[in-house]
Every structure is written in structure tokens, then in C-alpha cells.
Amino acid sequence: MTSSSETIDTQGVAHDLELRQFLAQARSRVDAELDRLLPGESVPPTKLHSAIRWSVFAGGKRFRPLLTLAVGQTFGVAEELLIRTASALELVHTYSLIHDDLPCMDNDDLRRGRATCHVQFGEATAILAGDALQTLAFTIISEDPRLAPEKRLQLIGDMSRASGSPRGMVAGQALDLDAESRNVTAEELEQIHQLKTGALIISAARCGAMIADATEHEIEAVTEYAAQLGLLFQITDDVLDVTSTAEAIGKTPGKDQRSEKATYPNLHGIEEARGLALRVHGRARAVLDQIERPTARLAAIADYILNRTA
């Protein structure tokens, strides 16, 4: 979001530059950690491990790990304490994408501009790659030597609840499947997204705050910030699906609209979806006032998502 005052505009540009540097650096750290944590492609079963790496290193935005790092660093924690948990969250996210893309689910052949896991390696291997990624996420956190046992358990508990059912990602995916065969209300749509994508995004932010030993009140504020961020991410995703070119978003644009899928533009129209995005962005920024820390980077992340073009 750009401001009307020139002074603040300059500050906005500086923040934007700082954020882009943070994002680029953090992505490269997360990628290096993921590379270190995953079995090599030459380790048997080689096809499985190739499939895992194919999907993990498919050019993902690393949004969840970035959020863990940004929140943790806002509370003064060093990156080394955050990086494993951040990477584990990306593994859970990647497993969910692999399974979502399967023919019996969303049936997507293309993700981020290249073949999805099952297209490249077959359905059976894709299912197993997703299964192994989920398992590995919990192994990684359980073995993180930099965090106290109680902390690791707290992270595993939060992340697993956010990934499963009835209060997490898999529940959202199940409700989404169910919604395809009927009309859903705006409230139902929001609940589906809150579970399907919001829950893990919230957990990513909470994990950063928990590693930092943030207070209950601070964790609550972070939770609300991330909830709005997740919603914003989904709305802008739906809007981009309608307005973007295939090249920019790496998948067939308009696919959701054609399939009568429950999306914000389908439900509200494109202009009202954009207006909703602005209001949600405002709520995300407003809740940051409750955190007595330097939250400029978290605010910049909200701006970045609002204005993203891919």
C-alpha cells in the first residue's frame, strides 16, 4: 500500500527495500536448511527422495518459514533457533500441496510453472512423498538440539493441531471438497480458508513467538495478525487467479472460476474482493499496535501480500 505523504512514501520505499532484502536472504537460508535436512536423491528409495526434492525445491515462496523467522526476530530471537521449525512448516505445506494436486483432489498438472509431483513421478510416489514429508517435519522438530524439550513439544503440538482435523488444514481441505458439490455462504468460505490455509500460517507465526518465549498476550496478537494475513493471502490468491496471466502465477489462470469453485471473486465479484483485501490488510496492521516491539517488518509483510502480483 502506498501512502499519500511524500515523507512516508520515502519511508515506504525504504521499508520495501529492507523487506525484499529480508525475504531474499531468508529464502536462501530456508532453502539451504531444507537441502541439509532432506535425504539426498541418491539415497534409496531414490525415486521417492527425488520426488520429495522436486516438490520442495519447486520455487515456492517460503511464506510460512519467512513468517516464523520474521515473527521470531521481531521478538529478538536469533535465526538459528528458528530455522528448523521454519523449515518443518514448509515441509508440512509442501506435503499438503502434493496431495491437493492429486487427480482425485484438485487434479492440477502444473504448479509454479512446472509439472506437479504425480505428473512427474506417478500418483503412488506422490502420495508417499507427501506422507514422508509430513513425518519428517515432526522428526526435525523433535530432534532440534537448540530448543528445550518443552519448547519442541509445544511446537509439535501447535503445528500438528494446525495441520490435522478437526481444527486444521486437513479439515479445511475436506470441507473444501464437500463445498465443490454445492453453494457455500461467505461465512462457510471464510471458515474453509481459515482451516485450509489460515491454520498453518497462524501456526507459523505462533511458532516464531513461542520460540521467543513471548507472553500469552503477545502470542494472541501474533495469532490475530497471522489470521488476517492468511485471509489476505487467500483473497489476493483468488483475485490473481482471475486477473493474472499463466506466466505470472505458474498455473492455468481462471481455472477456479471456470470450475465454479468457491472463491472470493466468484462469491463477491472482483471489485468487492479487492475492497475486502484492503479491509483485511488494515486489520492485520492494526493488531500490530498491541505488540510493543519493532513491528515494521511485520507491517511490511502485510503490505507486500496486499500488493503482490504473483
- Hey, which residues does 232 pair with through a beta bridge? none
Select the span of 80-88, 116-124, 258-266, 273-281 touching a copy of itself (CB under 8 A). Answer: 116-124
Report d(CA 16, CA 19) in Å as an integer.
5
**In angstroms, rounded to a whole number, what is the distance separating the alpha carbons of residues 108 and 250?**
11
Residue 4 or 42 with smaller CB distance to a copy of itself: 42
How far apart (Å, rounded) are the C-alpha atoms in residues 95 and 236? 22
Q: Which of 160, 223, 244, 290 touches a copy of itself (CB under 8 A)? A: 160
Provide, rounded to whole angstroms, the least separation between the CB of residue 15 and a copy of itself. Answer: 37
From CA 164, how far away is CA 175, in angstroms rounded? Answer: 13
Residue choice 29, 49, 251, 281 for contact with a copy of itself (CB under 8 A): 49
Q: Judged by CB under 8 A, does residue 207 bind a copy of itself?
A: no
Question: Is 239 a binder of a copy of itself (CB under 8 A)?
Answer: no
CB-CB contact of 34 with 56 (8 Å): yes
CA 34 – CA 54 distance, rounded (Å): 12
Residue 134 in the binding site for a copy of itself (CB under 8 A)? yes
Does residue 185 interact with a copy of itself by CB under 8 A?
no
Contact in structure between 231 and 202 (CB atoms under 8 Å):
no
Q: How far apart are CA 178 and CA 254, in angstroms?
A: 21
Q: Which of 23, 70, 82, 128 binds a copy of itself (CB under 8 A)?
A: 128
DSSP string covering 173-205? HHHHHHHTTS---HHHHHHHHIIIIIHHHHHHH
Q: Is 79 in the site for a copy of itself (CB under 8 A)?
A: no
- With binding defined as CB under 8 A, does residue 97 bind a copy of itself? no
Look at residue 110 and give its three-state secondary structure: strand
If binding means CB under 8 A, how many residues of this protein chain bind a copy of itself? Answer: 49
**Footprint on residues 22-41 left by a copy of itself (CB under 8 A):** 39
Q: Which residues bind a copy of itself (CB under 8 A)?
A: 39, 43-45, 47-49, 52, 95, 99, 102, 104-105, 122-125, 127-128, 130-132, 134-136, 138-139, 142-143, 149-150, 152-153, 156-157, 160-161, 163-166, 168, 170-171, 173-175, 177-178
